[in-house]
Amino acid sequence: MKILRNVDDAMEFTKGNYQKSVGLVPTMGFLHAGHRSLIEEARKNNDIVVVSIFVNPTQFGPNEDYEKYPRDEESDFKLCENAGVDVVFVPDANEFYDNHKTYVTIEDLKDNLCGKTRPIHFRGVLTVLTKLFNIFRPTNAYFGKKDAQQFLIVKKTVKDLNFGINIVPCPIKREDDGLAISSRNVYLSEEERKAAPVLYRALEKGRSSIKKGMRSDDLVKIIRDEIEKEQLAKIEYIQVVDTDEIKDVEIIDRDVLVALAVHFGNTRLIDNFFYEV
């Protein structure tokens, strides 16, 4: 397994492998079973698997958790090696964004859900991904469905800008009690961790209730009522949006994403499910 730490070395690697299929798994490190499932999917379908590990400063707002975001390079490398990764790219932020003036953004799709409270987030995500796509020229890139808005935005950007990359969605990996696996789960106190699976229970109630022609408000109420049984849960949003424009829908008469963000203390968790009519 190669470990590359600067852009020039990464681009040199790519030059030598133009004829091979490349699967890219972009991550911010602190790798867990969810990341491993993406890597395993990439390993099945590509000659070369590349994992990027980079806590990307441009997607964090001024009061967010960039400095304290969990990091464990040694553990990350071990997981990658055990999963059969060929290349790990671990760039230095100062080199990666040296005198950086160019950013990639998207209209409309960034303005709802997480984008309402994290206004610069998706500009940062799309900028770092554009750089990674240009450096490694992947055939396929793998994204977990837990970050559903991100997946939909990346898919649209790749189509609009003609990157020619296949964006592969992968199922949410969950703990035994249903909580979506996330690097941020480490922030939860013991009491908050016990409370957090209410998100999964609420979404499952929603999933069992949803049907074509249903009012979104009625579905949101079912999910909200379940979450509000847990005193430690502070709801940021529960929304039903279409999967093309990420706009709120009143009636469930098309494919939708049912998404939520909920705070437990200082920890913000997201979860979701997709529904096809």
| 3-state secondary structure at position 151 | helix
Q: Side chain identity at 204, as an amino acid letter?
A: E
Determine the Cα–Cα distance for residues 182 and 196; give it in Å rounded to an integer.
Answer: 12
The dihedrals phi and psi of 11, each to the nearest 5 degrees, come to -70, -35
Strand ranges inside the chain, DSSP E: 2-4, 22-27, 48-53, 87-89, 140-144, 166-170, 233-242, 256-264, 267-275
Given the residues 32, 35, 121, 263, the one annotated as active site: 35
Determine the Cα–Cα distance for residues 35 and 12; give it in Å rounded to an integer.
Answer: 26
Q: Among positive and negative, which fits the CA dihedral 29, 34, 38, 44?
A: positive
| 32 annotated active-site | no
Q: How far is CA 196 from CA 98, 106, 117, 118, 202, in A?
A: 39, 32, 21, 22, 11
Q: Among positive and negative, which fits the CA dihedral 78, 83, 84, 89?
A: negative
For residue 258, what are the β-bridge partners? Answer: 240, 273
CA quadruple 142, 147, 148, 150: dihedral, nearest 10: -80
β 140-144/22-27 pair status: parallel
Determine the Cα–Cα distance for residues 105 and 185; give it in Å rounded to an integer.
Answer: 28
Q: In terms of Cα–Cα distance, which of 47, 4, 40, 7 is closest to 25?
A: 40
Catalytic residues: 35
